[in-house]
Amino acid sequence: MLGVETVLIIAFDRLLGVVIPNVYRLINKWIYIGTTMFAAMVYAGWGLYEIYKLAVAQPNRMVIPFIGEAEHDFLMIFFANIVMFNLINLLCYFAIWIILKMRKNLRDTSMKKIVKSLIMISLVVFFGWTVCSSVQLVISFVFHVPEIPFTFLSVYFGVTVHGSLSVNYLILYKFSKDYKKALRKQLNDLCWFVTRKHIVHDMSTTHVTEVKLSKFVTNVTNVAEMY
């Protein structure tokens, strides 16, 4: 639960730095970070307390051994909060992008690209969580699916969440030269481990030279080139 709040706090922090940069520079960083992290910890603590109350109220209840079963009756509130936090996070980055677009004296295009990549990441994550949460709500309150099928359906549609998080790598690869170089360095290490050959000879550029590698490594290179 703590991760979603901290991601939202980072979005607020970036928005604050863009809207009121002069005031932002004067903020005491220790007090600022301590306050925001305390707020996130309070929310996570509230969630833990609600889970504890459910466990105490039904100590002998049989459940399927999945992480989501810890929340159980609290699960829908948890999902609704995640969707809401992700939506606010997305709106923050949209606001940052609009503000940067309106500033005609801003010549740093790298900043705009970073914001664009963050918007794409937030949009994909929001979509993944929204699909998962919507399915949970529909099968629970509309179709009243029994507990065991409900659990398995939740796991299947939970793939959208994992997919939206894992695709962040490709989004950053597309929009950021620094991330592109970092990924290709990792591919270099992977290929050296498998074949004792490098696919990137000049790490100062993003050019990948063609070498004869195993089918496995060639496929990895093709995926990198595709994106």
What digits encode the pLDDT tens for the residues 8-56? 998 999 999 889 988 998 999 899 999 999 999 999 899 889 889 988 9
* Residues 26, 72 within the same domain: yes
Q: Which residues contact 200 (CB under 8 A, 6 or more apart)?
A: 184, 185, 187, 188, 207, 208, 209
Class of residue 208 by CB neighbours under 10 A (exposed 0-12, middle 13-18, buried 19+): middle
Residue 90: pLDDT band (50, 70, 90) is: very high
The pLDDT tens digits for 112-163 are 778 888 899 999 999 999 998 889 888 888 888 888 888 888 888 889 999 9
Give me Rg for the CA atoms of the chain: 22
* Residues 191, 112 within the same domain: no
Residue 204: pLDDT band (50, 70, 90) is: low
Rounded to 5°, the CA angle 12-17-23 comes to 115
* Residues 165, 145 within the same domain: yes
Q: Is the pLDDT of residue 226 over 60?
A: no
* Residues 93, 59 within the same domain: yes
* Residues 130, 216 within the same domain: no
* Residues 138, 198 within the same domain: no
Residue 225: pLDDT band (50, 70, 90) is: very low
More confident residue, 92 or 116: 92
> Hey, what are 63's tokens?
């459940």
> Hey, what are 52's tokens?
């504890």
* Residues 187, 168 within the same domain: no
* Residues 117, 185 within the same domain: no
How far, CA to CA in Å, does 194 sit from each of 175, 191, 197, 202, 207? 28, 5, 8, 19, 21
138: DSSP letter: I
* Residues 221, 188 within the same domain: yes
For residue 1, the model assigns a pLDDT of 61
Range of the domain at 48: 2-175
Q: Is the pLDDT of residue 222 over 70?
A: no
What whole-number distance in Å separates Cα of residue 135 and Cα of residue 158?
9
* Residues 20, 41 within the same domain: yes
Residue 62: pLDDT band (50, 70, 90) is: confident
pTM of the model: 0.75
For residue 106, the model assigns a pLDDT of 63
The pLDDT tens digits for 68-80 are 777 767 778 888 8
Domain count, the chain: 2
* Residues 102, 186 within the same domain: no
> Hey, what are 30's tokens?
């220790």
* Residues 154, 214 within the same domain: no
